[in-house]
Amino acid sequence: MTDPEFPLRALLAQVRACRACDDLPCGPRPIIQAQGSARVLIVGQAPGRRVHETGVPWNDPSGDRLRAWLGVDRATFYGPDFAIIPMGLCYPGSGPRGDQPPRRRCAPLWFARLRASLPEIRLTLLVGRYAQAYHLPPTDARRAVAAAVRQGPDYGALWPLPHPSGRNNQWLKRHPWFETEILPVLRHRVHTLLRAPLGPDDRAP
């Protein structure tokens, strides 16, 4: 009997063995989560040091805030309904203003192949400007993050979000509409996807 998950598992094994960026300060350690049944895809920028050390995506205070934004617990977040693919799969090291940006070579190597292996994805959360620059049309990607986030419900299968890092606390204070207007709609969308069965004509393009 053919195992439908085998191609994805084989691809994930290749990804986790990737050493394309062997000059990283802490060495390569691709961090990813994916099952073929996933309905929600979270695209962030790159793992932080704590995630690099534990090997668990979003296993840090930023992840705690992201889960609170989505209204899901850890068991749901790390369950089969969520896939997590950052733009850079490995911790890029730190710089004077926080972590370095994701390595540019990473997404061209892996992202399209991984995304094609997740046919049930209905909603893709674009967390931060690097994910938004990769996925949104050039004119939209050049806009301020606030403008893209405010338009989140209008993008359909794509949903821009600010990064949940504590470094964005001031951004959140300056944009109170994010918590009062955007998050309730996002939570409803996520919870609807997690409950509703998928039909043959009810999948994202």
pLDDT tens figures, 157-178: 999 999 999 999 999 999 999 9
Mean pLDDT of the chain: 91
User: Is 201 a member of any domain?
Assistant: no
User: Is 205 a member of any domain?
Assistant: no
Place of tokens 């949903």: 159
User: What is the mean predicted confidence (pLDDT) over 37-58?
Assistant: 97
User: What is the mean predicted confidence (pLDDT) over 135-143?
Assistant: 79
Torsion-angle region of 117 (φ positive above 0: left; ψ -120 to 50: alpha; else: beta): alpha
User: Is 1 a member of any domain?
Assistant: no
Residue with the larger pLDDT of the pair 31 and 145: 31
Q: How many domains does the chain have?
A: 1
pLDDT tens figures, 101-119: 999 999 999 999 999 999 9
User: What is the mean predicted confidence (pLDDT) over 55-79?
Assistant: 97
User: Is 204 a member of any domain?
Assistant: no
- Considering Cα of 25, then 28, then 29, then 32, what sign does the dihedral take? positive
Reported confidence tier of residue 195, pLDDT bands at 50, 70, 90: confident
- pLDDT surpassing 90 at residue 69: yes
The order of strands in the sheet holding 158-161 is: 82-84, 40-43, 123-127, 158-161
User: Is 11 a member of any domain?
Assistant: yes
User: Is 200 a member of any domain?
Assistant: no
Residue with the larger pLDDT of the pair 165 and 204: 165
Give residue 124's domain range.
6-195
CATH of the domain at 109: 3.40.470.10
User: Is 202 a member of any domain?
Assistant: no
User: Is 60 a member of any domain?
Assistant: yes
